[in-house]
Structure 1
Amino acid sequence: MRTRRTRKRRKKNGKRAAILAAIALSLGALTVWATQRQPQADTASLSTETINSFAYRTACGLLRSRGENLIYSPVSFYHALSLTASGASGQTAGELDAYLGVQDGEKPSEQAASLYRTLHSEGEHSRLTICTSLWHDQSVRLKRGFKKEATKQYGASVYSADFGSDAAADKMNEWVQQQTGGTIRPEIRVQEDDLLRILNTLYFRDEWRDRLYLSETPEPFYLTGGETADALFLNKTYGSWGFYKGAGFTRASLVLKERGQMYFVLPDEGVPVDSFFESAERLQEVMEGGTSMSGEVVFKIPQFTLSSSLDLKESMVNDGITDPFVQGDFSNMTKDGEVRISAITQDSYISVNRDGVEASSFTDLTLESAAAIEEKADRADMILNRPFLFGIKNRGVWLLIGVCDHPAA
């Protein structure tokens, strides 16, 4: 299984071995304050509209500025940023709450807990887990209320570690690797000025409800530049199946065994996939809109395994968020003076084959000191032999949104 290493942002080299058991057993360099557990139920509920609106707003700029291929998890980003916002105050809290789409009178932590309860599941054929950990240098004094909220509302494990020791980064790397089923193997490096690290992972695995058939010989996938790449295709034809037609696109989905679906959006001939990302409204239109139709649907989907890395801090700055990165007010989080967000990155992975889908995402946030009318149609050909948009939705929430520009890249 191919994996993607986290983009190196640090100058330190080398990889040191550690086993995950050391996280729980070490009583010297590392102290475990709380273990991962399901967040406590509360009366607040996160509407699918709120998280999906956040998904469209944030995904649009990321998709426009991508290189080749992109996978993005709005759920993982939302969860990590929400925990950070819970420790903010003043203007910093205002900017983060607005970016998250938190309404007056709501708390980010209540919405995140609701999101967890909505999505978290483990079944016979599937698994969907969201895990959070908060790591802080042993010199940092977390406020009791923030620590309680992290464990109670986010189900977070809280670790105190010596950030001057290589062992801290080793344990973070092992934690991420375990939570993502080995699909992401990061190379986290802890810098001298780092005070806290908020890590969030999303792991998803499910099987197709109906069997897909893999072609025996490679066929061409047409790249944006006019070249071709060979790919093996997954094939399925339904005599009567629902799909959507809209301005410049056709959208259809395949059903997974445990209440999830994978959506595929095929641009019309001559329509570039990048035209879908002109605005959040346009992205929402191609992912949710169009005219509902039914008829014969022919699926031809390249078998692919993709991974990507994103700089989410840059995306936030481009959207006008500045205070948390300059002179942030995180006085509800720690007693140790001025703290600011220094980096937010996300690595993601997806594998689509004849058995089903496996996908994961890892968000790393570092803080340092300073209804449509149904019509009948004869046929829809979802021949995905050119760049296309895809997304995985579970219980109405977009877990992942991405673009396949090159299935063999």
Structure 2
Amino acid sequence: MYNLKYKGDGNMRKLAALISVFMVFSGIAGCGRTKTTDIKDISSKPNTADNVQKNSAAENPVYPKGVAFEDYDGRALLMKENKLEDSFLDALKKFTYKSTSEILKNKTKNITYSPVSLYMALSLAGTGAGGSTQKEIFSALEAGNNKADYLSNENSKLFRLLYSDNEIGKLKIANSVWLDKDINFKKSFLDTAVKDFYSSVYNVDFKDKGSSKQISDWISKNTNDALSPQISLDKNQIMSIINTIYYKDQWMDKFDEKATKPDTFYLKNGQEIKCDFMNSTYAVHSFIRGEGYTSSALSLKNNGSMLFILPDKGVSIDSLLQSPEKAAKLFDEQGSINGKVIFQIPKFSYGSSLDLKEALNNLGIKEAFKNNADFSGVTDGKAFISNAKQESHIAIDEKGVEAAAFTRIEYGGSARPKQEKAEMILNRPFIFAIKANGGNILFVGIVNNPKEN
């Protein structure tokens, strides 16, 4: 559907990850189309019954205010006012594990996937579905026993909890809904998109090449110009749902650039390549010695973390991710111990593209892709999902802002009488996960070749 080009920062001082989900809805020719001459912005209309409204310019949501980095009271209040239901957190975790197991299997190239981004996009689509179509989507989202209002409300709270824009880092989430200008859409769906999912709403002509540029510009703007997409549109397309996540943060403890040295990385096929490795040793740090792997996380300044999972020699990544239950053990970080941890991490910067249709089918979302799909909450005409893609870019390096306000992790604990030790020498294919404050997994990926971009 589209290719994303990364416009990187040559002087990167952060960990950066970028995601864009593109979900395309197509219609049956002639169904639900009307000639529109007077197009109005839905923001000027009251929240009344399920009448049809049209909008030409964007209906822009009011985004949450970013909490300042040192505003601890503000952060505590934000968490108190947006407490997520335990059932929703459990559903999000289950979706993360089963979708990660499905999407990351049998991958030979570098890959990054955002379960949160896909969850939000599917949730919005699901609120506009009906009958068995909605049932399949909600079941895949582990929300089968809940109603659309519940899912909308929890996603709204999740958005506010995750959204962050301060002097240290950013976690900027943006949603948009793009509507065919000649199709009647339900106002209730658009209201939900704007109010609960913080979506911008646009009315465009999908046959006009200028619409491709408009969508591309929106994605670029909402990823701080880091992604430059080239988009092709389908003539039968009637709606697109787009979710972007732009994330950057700084290591709690920066790597010393002088310690970065070239070394050997061993590819899956047995070949060897040379690449730059960042090096750091912690006298006391937590790690996990799991069944077939060792893992340890590095803290980020906005209370998130990046977890690195190194398979034991002779253990494949596929075997560690072969089931949702195994994925859960990898990412839950249960049973950690303290000891000396040696990190040797290759610098990497790469993009990846995922066609999600087959994976979503395997997760049980099938009817939504068929001509008989029920999206009656979106439009009275025939509509179905014709494509779902996720594009991403991630980059890490050793730099960060050095500040006296932060305490080095290596002084944060006490070693056991018998010194434990873990060597996180990531010189062969490994798994990573980036977690937000609260432990929700934003990104998960596999680095098969750190020099591949």
What is the TM-score normalised by the length of structure 1?
A: 0.85
1:35 paired with 2:60, answer yes
SS of the counterpart of 2:214? Answer: helix
Query: What residue number does 1:334 align with?
Result: 379
Give the Cα–Cα distance (whole angstroms) in 2 for the partners of residues 114 and 311 of structure 1: 28
Q: 1:36–1:131: 8 Å Cα contact kept in structure 2?
A: no
Aligned equivalent of 1:392: 434
1:251 aligns with 2:292: no
Give the partner amino acid of 1:204: Y
State the Cα distance separating 1:61 from its structure 2 match: 1.6
Hey, what does 2:356 align to over in structure 1?
312
CA RMSD of aligned residues (A): 2.8
Deviation of 1:291 after TM superposition, in Å, equals 2.9
2:90 aligns with 49
What SS does the aligned partner of 1:132 have?
strand
- In the alignment, the residues of structure 1 paired with residue 107 and residue 64 of structure 2 have an alpha-carbon distance, to the nearest angstrom, of 34
Counterpart secondary structure, 2:117: helix
TM-score, normalisation: structure 2: 0.77
User: Which ranges of structure 1 fall in alignment gaps of 5 or more residues?
Assistant: 11-23, 25-29, 358-373
In the TM superposition, 1:108-187 aligns within 5 A as 108-187=151-230
Counterpart residue type for residue 314 of structure 1: E
Contact (CA 8 Å) 1:39, 1:151: kept in 2 or not?
Answer: no
- Is the 1:391–1:398 contact (alpha carbons within 8 Å) kept by the matching residues of 2? yes
What residue number does 2:275 align with? 231
Work out the percentage of aligned pairs sharing the same amino acid. 34
Change (3 A) 1:324 1:126: same
Match of 2:47 in 1: none
Measured after TM superposition, the shift of residue 184 of structure 1 is 2.0
- Asked if the contact 2:20–2:245 (Cα under 8 Å) also holds between the matched residues in 1, the reply is no
- Contact 1:212 1:235 (C-alpha < 8 Å) held by counterparts: yes
Question: 1:287-322 deviations in whole A, cap 9, x for unaligned?
Answer: 224532101111110010021100111111123321
Structure 2 CA distance for aligned equivalents of residues 177 and 296 of structure 1: 42
Counting only pairs closer than 5 Å after superposition, residues 65-84 of structure 1 correspond to structure 2 as 65-84=106-125
Distance 1:158 1:109 in 2: 17
* Distance in 2 between residues matched to 1:305 and 1:140, nearest whole Å: 41
**Are 1:261 and 2:305 matched, yes or no?**
yes
> What displacement does 1:272 show?
1.7
- Structure showing the higher strand proportion among its residues: 1
Q: Distance in 1 between matches of 2:297 and 2:260?
A: 23
Q: Does 1:378 align with 2:403?
A: no
1:377 Cα deviation after fit = 4.1
User: Match of 1:309, as an amino acid?
Assistant: S
Instruction: Work out the CA distance in 1 between the residues paired with 2:199 and 2:19.
Output: 24
Post-superposition offset of 1:276? 0.9
Structure 2 residue 219 is matched with structure 1 residue 194: no
Give aligned pairs, total: 375
After TM superposition, give the deviation of residue 380 of structure 1 in Å.
Answer: 0.8
How far off is 1:216 after superposition? Answer: 4.8
Structure 2 residue runs of 5 or longer lacking an equivalent are: 1-5, 9-17, 25-40, 42-54, 66-80, 402-414
Asked if 1:407 corresponds to 2:450, the answer is: yes
Q: CA deviation at 1:162?
A: 1.5
Question: Which residue type is aligned with residue 376 of structure 2?
Answer: S
Code of the residue aligned with 1:388 in structure 2: it is F
Q: Which structure 2 residues correspond to residues 282-301 of structure 1 after superposition, within 5 A?
A: 282-289=326-333, 291-301=335-345
Per the TM alignment, residue 33 of structure 1 is displaced from its structure 2 partner at its CA by 4.5
Equivalences for 1:100-115 in 2 at 5 Å?
100-107=141-148, 108-115=151-158
| Larger-gyration structure (1/2) | 2
Greater mean deviation of Cα atoms: 296-305 or 96-105: 96-105
User: Hey, what does 2:127 align to over in structure 1?
Assistant: 86
Q: Which amino acid aligns with 1:83?
A: L
Aligned partner of residue 153 in structure 2, secondary structure: helix
CA distance in 2, matches of 1:378, 1:39: 44
The CA distance in 1 between the partners of 2:231 and 2:447, in whole Å, is 27
Q: Distance in 1 between matches of 2:108 and 2:228?
A: 22
Of 232, 247, 250, 1:207 maps to 250
Shift of 1:229: 1.2
1:168 to partner: Cα distance? 1.0
How far apart in 2 are the matches of 1:38 and 1:82?
19
Contact 2:104 2:111 in 1 (8 A): yes
1 CA distance for matches of 2:334 and 2:247?
28
